[in-house]
């Protein structure tokens, strides 16, 4: 099973920017809404996957297409060791907007099921593939930051955060972009004891990858 990590935070707090340090030849980005990558050289480093090429970028908000792509990366692109799904929340909100005029609660169950199936597909990939789910956060009725969904009905169907053992929260502290690695009573974050030395780390996915690999492979005293 892969290392699958959730990164949540408000828009503009450095989630997508954290991709900048990864090695493009070993990385694949699935951009749900096909927005421009927010770092220098992103368009040249990440080329759209098309017939006849080995591109490392694809855009789709359709859950069936996304799962097919995950399986393709897992089985056929063995040079890829990091898979990014950016703006995951739009797999839910776009689906909701397309069925906004459809009455009944069944659509919420379907949207929740589709989101769950994407995460399950990521978790079940090969051991040497690290997967990141980047998504927006929102403040709930108790003043806590959580994954942004489309309302209480969907939250009752699926607890996104509970499907991950590592959750990082993106924050801007003193003008610097950081990842929170442990819960601070407001922002959800969690990681295995001792994986990260500091509660706040740089928004650098290459460093995060390295920390995870070292932690999972080190000897137990």
Report how many domains make up the chain: 1
Strands 130-139 and 145-147, how do they pair?
A: antiparallel
Q: Which residues pair with 202 in a beta bridge?
A: 178
Contact 67, 90 (CB under 8 A): no
Residue 100, number of CB atoms within 10 A of its CB: 7
Tens place of pLDDT per residue across the chain (221 aa): 568 999 999 999 999 999 999 999 999 999 999 898 988 888 899 999 998 888 999 999 999 999 999 999 999 999 999 999 999 988 877 776 676 667 766 777 778 788 889 999 999 999 999 999 999 888 888 888 888 877 665 667 677 888 899 999 999 999 999 999 998 889 989 999 889 999 999 999 999 999 998 898 865 44
Q: Which residues pair with 7 in a beta bridge?
A: 134, 168
Question: Kindly report the CA angle at 95 between 20 and 166, in degrees rounded to 5?
Answer: 45
Distance CA 9, CA 168 (A): 9
For residue 34, the domain's CATH number is 3.40.50
Give pTM, 2 decimals: 0.89
Domain enclosing residue 114, as ranges: 3-217
User: What residues contact 150, with CB distance under 8 A and at least 6 apart?
Assistant: 92, 93, 96, 108, 111
């Amino acid at each position: 099973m892969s290392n699958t990590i959730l990164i949540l935070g408000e828009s503009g707090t450095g989630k997508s920017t954290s991709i900048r340090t990864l090695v493009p030849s070993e990385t694949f980005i699935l951009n749900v809404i096909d927005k421009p990558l927010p770092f220098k050289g992103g368009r040249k480093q990440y080329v759209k996957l098309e017939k006849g090429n080995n591109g490392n970028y694809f855009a789709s908000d359709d859950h069936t297409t996304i799962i097919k792509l995950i399986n393709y990366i897992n089985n056929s692109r063995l040079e890829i060791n990091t898979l990014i799904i950016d703006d995951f929340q739009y797999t839910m909100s776009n689906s909701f907007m397309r069925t906004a005029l459809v009455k009944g609660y069944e659509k919420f169950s379907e949207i929740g099921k589709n989101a769950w199936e994407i995460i399950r597909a990521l978790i079940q990939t090969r051991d040497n593939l690290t997967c990141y789910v980047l998504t927006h956060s929102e403040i709930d009725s108790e003043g806590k930051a959580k994954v942004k969904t489309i309302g209480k009905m969907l939250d009752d169907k699926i607890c996104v955060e509970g499907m991950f053992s590592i959750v990082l929260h993106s924050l801007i502290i003193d003008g610097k972009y950081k990842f929170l690695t442990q819960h601070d009573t407001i922002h959800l974050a969690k990681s295995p004891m001792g994986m990260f030395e500091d509660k706040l780390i740089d928004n650098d996915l290459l460093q995060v990858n390295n920390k995870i690999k070292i932690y999972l492979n080190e000897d137990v005293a």
